[in-house]
Structure 1
Amino acid sequence: MEQLLVKDIKQGSLDAFKFVFSFYQSKLHNFIYTKTGSAYYAKEVTQLTFIKLWEYRESLSEEWQLSTQIFRMAKTTLIDVLRKTESERLKLEGLSKSGLEEVADGLPMEMHDVNIILQIITEKMPPMRKKIFSLRVEQRLSYKEISSLLSISIKTVNKHMELALPKARARLKSLR
């Protein structure tokens, strides 16, 4: 049965993929939740695993159980997410001196809790603008990387940043 599903998914069958998704989603979510104790990581890793399953469907092996392949993908995805989270944490630690330069635009930074500053700056932004702004400022992604990650045009990223930066700078000045 699983080998048939693997063949169908490899051939691009959305029905097979939907079936696999509905069958494994909660099992995968519970597996990740058990490993991390985090509902956020469980949801994020589950979603990313199924995205990878679809993107790399042609490289699935018909010799291995589909469940084994899915759970291996989830495990490596979890490791990637945890590494990225740690990397972001380290970047944020250094952000007080260098990461807000695009927002601060030359303002001296005397505040040390960058997380709180960023939360205050972004609290009233629309969700997409907040996401784009965070990816740019916190993760230091380029407009092109953000565009690719969110499947939107570079012009859209640019427009959101054009709208966010003046308000963020004004908000930052009011915090001083």
Structure 2
Amino acid sequence: MINESKLLERLSKNDASAYKLLFDTYYIWLCNYVCSLCNDPELAEDLAQETMIKFWEKRKKIIVKISLKNYLFRTCHNEFLQHIRKKKIKVDFLDQVRWDALTAVYEEEKTPESNRIEILNKLIDQLPPRCKEVFILNKLERRKYKEIANDLGISIKTVENHMSKALSFLREHATSFML
């Protein structure tokens, strides 16, 4: 087990051996993760490499609030989503929702927050398909209602209705679990 805080400190001081350790420790995991999303090993390698390069370029500015491993997985996941947006590839929106559950698997301990995330993911899975899709686009991808409406070929009012329905359902059912 590597000491992440010391590794981050060494990275901020331009320690190439620390970067090699980071790369050797996480690169294959990142490749496997992206490959599980897209079933394309070459794309997975490209995105994992891009993640590692960006990490090195921004190493002095990066503030890791979660574990370094989770930070890298989140960054790699975002690279994958950016790739999809650029290529306008249809994605299984469930993969985006399950990201938080996957993150919890990689954490050493289960926290009350990770349990809440699992409950929330299960509740989101219960939403009607279009409602779930709109909710994920808005809350996880942080897209505006107008963008969602354009991409899905529906009116902004329909997006608002789906969001209202999703939030109402989640508030109603999550209250008993989140207390």
Question: Which of the two has higher C-alpha Rg?
Answer: 1
TM-score by length of 1: 0.46
